[in-house]
Amino acid sequence: MAAPFLLVQLSDFHVGAPGGGRDPRRCLREALDAVAALPDRPDALLASGDLSDDGSPQSYAFVREELERLGLPYFVLPGNHDDRAALRQAFDLAGEGEEPINYAADLGPLRLVAVDTVLPGADRGELDDIALTLIEAELATAPEQPTLLAMHHPPLHTGIPPLDGICLEAGARAGLAAVLSRHPQVLRVVAGHLHRIVVGELAGRAVLTVPSTYVQARLDFTATDFGLGDDPPGFAVHAFAEGEIASHVQPIRGE
């Protein structure tokens, strides 16, 4: 049996976050060291937003240098903490300035469709009618190609009020569900932003959020504010084989 195609997803590096707690640069370095130490060499990397906390060119330069260290193809998408123009410039992404960053990439056996869910100035995510039309058109160009749909804000309901307050807005979630219902080639929807592992479902497809490489959100269903816990950081390995994706979430052991 052929080895699976491996796409590693890392998220929410928050490089440039104010000091005092963990060092986000060191956390990212440790995460990429852990990816490099995997017994199987991944085929590609995906960074699912909040790469930087401050949107500075210096933060993106550091992230780019770290991602390139592994010598693998890598793909980035924006989160609410990112600055689209600075991210675009640092990673040579198509488009101009503050325009949304949407693209598709043929990874070989698997197609990646990256969707920009950022609503500038807000923590919650949005997909307006223009964005939904764009996703529909992108998916329609390769209806037979197994596809992973990636974004920063998850189309999920978590049951944790402060997390639900920052997910993809309900109307956008319903709109995306309608698009997915017409595109069975989308096998999984993956996101970041929640700084927790959460699995849900949209239009019959599993929706997964992966941990942050930096700090994790606390499991507390009565929480009124976004609180941090002491869960370990981690990353996901999406293994595509036999027409299916198995998503493994790998914690990163600290010292």
Q: Which is nearer to Fe ion, 88 or 193 (CB)?
A: 193
> Which range, of 28-36, 79-87, 107-115, 237-245, touches Fe ion by CB under 5 A?
79-87
Report the distance separating Cα 176 and Cα 41, nearest Å.
33
Q: Is 234 in the site for Fe ion (CB under 5 A)?
A: no
Task: Give the whole-angstrom CA distance, residue 102 versus residue 107.
Answer: 16
78 is a contact residue toward Fe ion (CB under 5 A): no
What is the end-to-end Cα distance of the chain in Å, rounded? 36
The single residue among 79, 154, 155, 233 that binds Fe ion, judged by CB under 5 A, is 79
Count of residues touching Fe ion (by CB under 5 A): 5
Q: How far is the CB of 117 from Fe ion (least distance, A)?
A: 10
Residue of 106, 95, 134, 102 lying closest to 118 (CA atoms): 102
Structure-block tokens of residue 177: 């569900």
- Confirm or reject binding of residue 193 to Fe ion (CB under 5 A): yes
Supply angle C-alpha 168, 249, 115, rounded to 5: 30
Of 80, 102, 147, 213, the residue at the interface with Fe ion (CB under 5 A) is 80
The interface region with Fe ion, picked from 51-59, 76-84, 96-104, 203-211 by CB under 5 A, is: 76-84
Cβ nearer to Fe ion, comparing 4 with 125: 125
Binding to Fe ion in span 156-175, by CB under 5 A: none
| Closest-CA residue to 210 (of 185, 227, 192) | 192
| Chosen residue from 4, 10, 12, 186 binding Fe ion by CB under 5 A | 12
**Least distance in angstroms from the C-beta of 193 to Fe ion:** 4
Of the candidate residues 43, 50, 116, 138, the single one contacting Fe ion (CB under 5 A): 50
Is residue 82 close enough to count as binding Fe ion by CB under 5 A? no
Residue 113 CA to residue 6 CA, distance in Å, equals 16
CB nearer to Fe ion: give 45 or 210. 210
Q: Indicate the Cα dihedral angle 157, 147, 7, 99, nearest 10°.
A: -70
Distance in Å, CB of 142 to Fe ion, minimum: 28
In the bound state with Fe ion, the residue whose beta carbon lies nearer, of 4 and 192, is: 192
3-state helix, strand, coil in the chain (%, to 5): 25, 25, 50
Which one, 50 or 138, has the nearer CB to Fe ion?
Answer: 50
List interacting residues with Fe ion (CB under 5 A): 12, 50, 79-80, 193
